[in-house]
Amino acid sequence: MFEKLLSLIGVKRQRQEPSENKKKHKRCKCPICTEPIAKCVLTSCGHTFCEYCLEQSMIYSSSCPLCRKKIIRTSSIPCKSIDSYVYSQLSDKQKESYVLRMRQIAKWNEEKKLKNTKVGMKIDALDTEGVWCSAIIRLKIDNGEKDPFLYVHYAGWDSSYDEVISESSYRLAPAGFYTSKNIPKYRMGSIVGVNDIGN
Ligand SMILES: [Zn+2]
Ligand SMILES: [Zn+2]
């Protein structure tokens, strides 16, 4: 009835343009993998990515992949409401692959956790410069109800770099989880990016 009235007075109700729809979907896509954002995280500079994609990017650079501002890992916030929104916008077929991706991320999150830690165990540790290094557990410190603290020694560095890190910290992973991959490493005291390795 309302439509009819409008057409009588020569006004056509504006439909949502297809380009608007496209824009809406584009906003829900991760700028790194270009897929619908899975496990969305918001960085301190206000950009959103898949948690997995941002973590992979941070192995190589601590800057935001979009605006290049420095990202402080601990200030990135998970956005569950965006996850629900993204999911609600997907077709049935997209939902299938989205669930599959979520499962792969959960598996990856599980695999990078340290398990059955003990003194003398080799691990991967993210140093304060943001580089994954081979390290060794020198001491395990009981922390009551909470996760134990680990006294970590970086292999090949003197003990002044040793650190005490919580066992569940994102800065620790099983040996080789990161360091076996072609990631930035130290050479002669400076950080060498993947593109430089082997040159
Ligand atoms: Zn992504
Ligand atoms: Zn940014």
Residues carrying CATH 3.30.40.10, the chain: 2-111
What residue spans in the chain does CATH classification 2.30.30.140 cover?
122-192
Query: Which ligand lies nearest to the CA atom of residue 72 in the structure?
Result: 2
Q: How far is the CA of 36 from the centre of ligand 2 (A)?
A: 18
Distance CA 78, CA 51 (A): 8
Tell me the CA–centroid distance for residue 48 and ligand 1, in Å: 9
Predicted TM-score (pTM) of the model is 0.78
pLDDT in tens, 146-180: 999 999 999 999 999 999 999 999 999 999 999 99
Ligand 2 centroid from CA 127, angstroms: 23
**Cα–ligand 1 centroid distance for 50 (angstroms):** 4
Name the one residue in this structure whose structure tokens are 């939902």: 95
Mention every residue, 6+ apart, whose C-beta is less than 8 A from residue 51. Answer: 38, 39, 40, 41, 78, 105
Cα-to-chain-centroid distance, residue 83: 14
What is the CATH code of the structural domain delimited by 122-192? Answer: 2.30.30.140
Fill in the DSSP letter of residue 139: E
pLDDT tens, position by position, 85-113: 999 999 999 999 999 999 999 999 999 99
The pair of structure tokens assigned to 21 is 């729809």
Q: Provide CATH code, domain 2-111.
A: 3.30.40.10
Q: Tokens 């994609």 identify what position? A: 53
